[in-house]
Amino acid sequence: MTKLEILTYPNTFLFRPTNPVENIDGKIQDLIEDMAVTMYDAPGIGLAAIQVGHDKSLLVFDVSPKDEKRSLQVLINPKIISKEGTIISEEEGCLSVPDYRADVKRAEKILVQGYDREGKPLQIEAEGLLSLVLQHEIDHLNGVLFIDHLSSLKRQMYKRRVKKNLRKK
């Protein structure tokens, strides 16, 4: 198991749409293990393959409370089948958008279909934190970052800050 480098904005790889996983082979299993190590180490509650440089439709997440045992979840080729209601995610953040948090308008409940790491079809009815995490991670698989949901003014402010910091380096 290897900890992978997490790509951060403005790395253009993050804007790429991903390709479906066609074979859940040993390479994919290794990638899942590496992504899990990387996510727990960060620490984060969700990570998409594109964030570690693989343009595959694959994500890992774990929304179990801190005082409970870890429970790694894997979702391959996920699709949001339906959405219901609206909710504001408070202070949403992203490992690929460091040092920035913002409220994002999201669906309250979603129905997701995909596959688990054994290739078995999976259906998840999600609400609360799980719903927000899955919407955030599935966005990644479509080349979308949470800052893309913000007003253009807020997004511009963030982009300017990143440019300034890059110049300082």
Minimum CB–partner distance for residue 66 and Zn ion (Å): 19
**Size of the residue set binding Zn ion (CB under 5 A):** 1
Based on CB atoms, which residue is closest to Zn ion, 94 or 126? 94
**59 part of the interface to Zn ion, by CB under 5 A:** no
**Cα atoms in the 13 Å half-sphere on the side-chain side of 57:** 18
**104 part of the interface to Zn ion, by CB under 5 A:** no
Question: What are the C-alpha distances in Å from 45 to residues 5, 61, 98, 169?
Answer: 16, 5, 15, 29
Place of tokens 């959405």: 83
Of 24-32, 91-99, 125-133, 157-165, which part binds Zn ion (CB under 5 A)?
91-99
For this structure, is 33 an active site residue?
no
Minimum CB–partner distance for residue 132 and Zn ion (Å): 11
Q: C-alpha angle with apex 64: 58 to 65, nearest 5 degrees?
A: 145
Choice from 94, 107, 141, 150 touching Zn ion (CB under 5 A): 94
**150 part of the interface to Zn ion, by CB under 5 A:** no
In the bound complex, which residue of the shown chain has the CB atom lying closest to Zn ion? Answer: 94
Cα(28)–Cα(19) distance, integer angstroms: 13
Tokens at residue 166, please? Answer: 């890059």
128: left (phi over 0), alpha (psi -120 to 50) or beta: left
Question: Which residues form the catalytic set?
Answer: 137
Chain residues binding Zn ion by CB under 5 A are 94
